[in-house]
């Protein structure tokens, strides 16, 4: 059968775990690797295929692990190599895969490489980072703005030069034009692949190479003070450089030399430039350039229809699609569109063509969370407080039950829990057949049992006002997905689809299909095969 030849990452579903907030096993209020291991039966019970862990490496935590001080170690707060090795065997024993987070664009300023690099201008590792003299007449070398606000340049008094940082000043950018950096980072990938990991999510991949001459970025004519300072400029010379694509192809060749591994690239770009990160059939790049358009698109049927159509059309013939609806960086989907539509969103995510990535906590519908100012931790918030873009609200600990600290820890968690944790927790939802959790399980089960949902063809139909409608078809199996994106009743004709043979799932309670949709209702319908 065709399916058996497909790689697991095409038919599979990825589940993102934010290790600080999944399960604490030693009572320090921060999640850890042994905690994750203890909760693996839960992860397996969802029906997902792979786990991606946000960074677990030694880190001063200026950006909560995305500032890596040693790529080949385990952060003591999370455990040690013994805990990691146990975790990976336990993951594999359940037939799951494990992806780590590879952070190639920048290290921590506490990394030994940076300590050497900043020690003197003649240090052999000086060129491992991006150092420049002040501009003629003084001041920063160019106008680049950090993604977290402020200049991308930090002055180093001791050696009289600036270094570049696309994010915090505690996250100096590596110089990927230097072959020694490339070799050192390839060794990092080998180190973890040799330890058995099944692949990587690659952090800010499109950032890794900058234009050699470091010219000023052009102004963004659409900028307003209501959006981030970063967006004052178009990142024309600081991101998505042609040389980055050959590095991504090298990473792929390395991963492929280990067999069945996957590379997922974090890339925010318009479709046409995004699609280039697949590479070509004879020089492939990442398997899955992360597609964040469900996170970014306005939540209405017309926008979603247009967005899905344009994304599908942009894919190269060898490019497999993928969809993301939440992450440790994005606002919670249920906070953005409300719980009723979050069920519609779950149905959409798990019935589109392409690999879905779920983010921990979305499966129980965690929505708006209040973080008192004194408990906020995200550096992005502190750099631009007026914008209210802090990511802490999406990083709160998993509420497992209604015991003290929600079963997450024996101590006060590092971030507060969701306000409604006493009722919105895994145990409560496990026991409720109509819960978001059991709805996710139902959808994930269907995705597994109905090949049309994982590998079937995809065709958008005209669903009429507020209704998103599409067909999935595989070897005579034909499904229609119809989603009411509004909180009003709507009708749906399904003229093109064929006669309805049964309802496989509903975001509300199951009922026969009568050509209408209740408010916030989404349905998966089985259609009669055409003769």
Residue 233 Cβ vs ligand GLC, minimum distance, rounded to whole Å:
18
- Interaction of residue 378 with ligand GLC, rule CB under 6 A: no
Q: Integer distance in angstroms from the first to the last C-alpha of the chain?
A: 23
State the Cα–Cα distance between residues 289 and 274, nearest whole angstrom. Answer: 7
Q: Does 329 interact with ligand GLC (rule: CB under 6 A)?
A: yes
210: helix, strand or coil: coil
Site string for ligand GLC, 460-489 (x = CB under 6 A): ------------------------------
* Number of residues forming the site for ligand GLC (CB under 6 A): 9
- Residues 459 and 446: their CA atoms lie apart, in Å, by 19
63 binds ligand GLC (CB under 6 A): yes
Going from the C-alpha of 13 to that of each of 43, 97, 254, 311, 453, the distances in angstroms are: 12, 10, 23, 19, 12
452 binds ligand GLC (CB under 6 A): no
**Would you say 173 or 466 has its CB closer to ligand GLC?**
173
Contact 232, 167 (CB under 8 A): no
Residue 362 among the catalytic residues: no
Could you give the CA distance from residue 31 to residue 65 in angstroms, rounded to a whole number? 13
Binder of ligand GLC out of 84, 167, 237, 440 (CB under 6 A):
167
- Asked if 56 is part of the footprint of ligand GLC (rule: CB under 6 A), the reply reads no
Q: Using the minimum distance from each CB to ligand GLC, give the nearer residue, 167 or 237.
A: 167
Contact indicator for 365, 420 with CB cutoff of 8 Å? no
Residue 56 beta carbon to ligand GLC: minimum distance, rounded to whole angstroms? 14
Closer residue to ligand GLC (CB): 55 or 407: 55
Which of 66, 144, 408, 421 is in the footprint of ligand GLC by CB under 6 A? 66
The tally of CA atoms less than 13 A away on the side-chain side of residue 12 is: 22
Residues 6+ apart with CB under 8 A from 24: 30, 31, 32, 35, 397, 408, 409, 410, 411, 413
Q: Which of 109, 229, 266, 521 is catalytic?
A: 266
Q: Compare residues 181 and 483 and give the one whose CB is closer to ligand GLC.
A: 181
Structure-token match 């004709």, residue found: 493
Q: Is 266 known to be catalytic? A: yes
Beta-strand ranges (E) seen in 398-497 are: 457-461, 467-474, 477-484, 490-491
Minimum separation from the CB atom of position 54 to ligand GLC (A): 7
Site for ligand GLC in 332-361 (CB under 6 A): none
Q: Which of 32, 37, 147, 203 is catalytic?
A: 203
Q: What number of H helices and E strands is found in the chain?
A: 16, 20
Cβ proximity to ligand GLC: between 88 and 103 the closer is: 103
Residue count of the chain: 531
203 lies in the binding site for ligand GLC (CB under 6 A)? yes
Verify binding: residue 292, ligand GLC, rule CB under 6 A: no
Three-class SS of residue 474? strand
Q: Identify which of 505, 491, 132, 161 has the alpha carbon closest to the alpha carbon of residue 350.
A: 505
Sort strands 262-265 and 288-289 into parallel, antiparallel or unpaired.
Answer: parallel
Q: Say whether 105 sits in a helix, a strand or coil.
A: coil
With CB atoms as reference, the residue minimizing the distance to ligand GLC is 66
Our finding on whether 231 is near ligand GLC (CB under 6 A) is no
> For ligand GLC, which is the closer residue by CB, 264 or 366?
264
Of residues 488 through 507, those in contact with ligand GLC by CB under 6 A are none
Q: How far is the CB of 210 from ligand GLC (least distance, A)?
A: 15
Q: CB of 1: closest distance to ligand GLC in angstroms?
A: 37
Nearest distance in Å: CB 167, ligand GLC: 4
Separation of alpha carbons 57 and 66, rounded Å = 9
Closer to ligand GLC by Cβ: residue 43 or 204: 204
Residues 98-127 interacting with ligand GLC (rule: CB under 6 A): 103
| Helix (H) or strand (E) run with residue 200 in it | strand 199-202
Contact 10, 49 (CB under 8 A): no
Cβ at position 292, least distance to ligand GLC in Å: 10
CA neighbours closer than 13 Å in the CB half-sphere of residue 136: 0
- Judged by CB, which is closer to ligand GLC: 230, or 328? 328
Q: Is 22 among the residues that bind ligand GLC (CB under 6 A)?
A: no
Least CB distance to ligand GLC at residue 381 (A)? 12
**Choice between 203 and 520, CB closer to ligand GLC:** 203
Cα–Cα distance measured from residue 321 to residue 439, given in angstroms and rounded to the nearest whole number: 23
DSSP state of 369: -
H or E stretch at 334:
helix 333-337
Min dist. Cβ of residue 493 to ligand GLC (A): 42
Contacts with ligand GLC, residue ranges (CB under 6 A): 63, 66, 103, 167, 203-204, 266, 328-329
Active-site residues, by number, are 203, 266
């Amino acid at each position: 059968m065709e399916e058996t030849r497909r790689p697991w990452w095409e038919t599979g579903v990825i589940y993102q775990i934010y290790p600080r907030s999944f399960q604490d096993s030693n009572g320090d209020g921060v999640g850890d690797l042994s905690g994750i291991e203890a909760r693996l039966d839960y992860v397996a019970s969802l029906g997902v295929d792979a786990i991606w862990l946000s960074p677990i490496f030694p880190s001063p935590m200026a950006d909560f692990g995305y500032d890596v001080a040693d790529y080949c170690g385990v952060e003591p707060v999370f455990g040690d190599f013994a805990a990691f090795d146990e975790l990976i065997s336990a993951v594999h024993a359940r037939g799951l895969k494990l992806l780590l987070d590879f952070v190639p664009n920048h290290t921590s300023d506490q990394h030994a490489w940076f300590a050497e690099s900043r020690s003197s201008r003649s240090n052999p590792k000086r060129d491992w980072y991006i150092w420049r003299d002040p501009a003629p007449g003084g001041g920063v070398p160019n106008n680049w703005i950090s993604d977290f606000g402020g200049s991308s340049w930090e002055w180093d008094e001791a050696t009289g030069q600036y270094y570049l940082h696309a994010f915090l000043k505690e996250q100096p950018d590596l110089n990927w034009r230097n072959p020694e950096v490339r070799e050192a980072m390839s060794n990092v990938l080998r180190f973890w692949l040799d330890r058995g990991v099944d692949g990587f999510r690659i952090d800010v991949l499109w950032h890794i190479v900058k234009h050699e001459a470091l010219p000023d970025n052009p102004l963004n004519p659409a900028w307003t003070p209501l959006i981030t300072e970063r967006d004052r400029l178009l990142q024309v010379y600081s991101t998505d450089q042609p040389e980055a694509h050959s590095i991504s192809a090298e990473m792929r060749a390395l991963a492929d030399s280990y067999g069945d591994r996957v590379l997922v690239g974090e890339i925010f770009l318009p479709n046409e430039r995004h699609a280039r990160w697949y590479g070509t059939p004879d020089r492939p790049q990442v398997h899955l350039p992360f597609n964040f358009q469900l996170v970014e698109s306005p939540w209405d049927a017309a926008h979603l229809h247009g967005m899905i159509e344009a994304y599908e059309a942009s894919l190269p013939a060898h490019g497999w699609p993928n969809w993301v609806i939440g992450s440790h960086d994005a606002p919670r989907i249920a906070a953005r569109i409300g719980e009723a539509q979050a069920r519609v969103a779950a149905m959409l995510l798990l019935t589109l063509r392409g690999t879905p990535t779920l983010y921990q906590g979305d499966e129980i519908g965690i929505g708006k969370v209040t973080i008192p100012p004194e408990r906020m931790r995200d550096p992005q918030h502190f750099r631009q407080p007026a914008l209210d873009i802090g990511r802490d609200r999406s990083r709160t600990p998993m509420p497992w039950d209604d015991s003290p600290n929600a079963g997450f820890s024996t101590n006060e968690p590092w971030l507060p829990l969701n306000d409604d944790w006493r009722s919105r927790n895994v145990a409560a939802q496990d026991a409720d057949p109509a819960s978001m959790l059991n709805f996710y399980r139902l959808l994930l089960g269907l995705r597994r049992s109905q090949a049309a949902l994982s590998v079937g063809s995809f065709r958008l139909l005209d669903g009429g006002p507020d209704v998103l409608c599409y067909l999935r078809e595989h070897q005579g199996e034909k499904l229609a997905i119809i989603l009411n994106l509004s909180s009003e009743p709507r009708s749906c004709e399904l003229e093109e689809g064929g006669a309805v043979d049964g309802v496989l799932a509903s975001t509300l309670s199951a009922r026969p299909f009568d050509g209408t949709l209740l408010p916030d209702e989404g349905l998966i319908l089985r259609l009669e095969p055409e003769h």
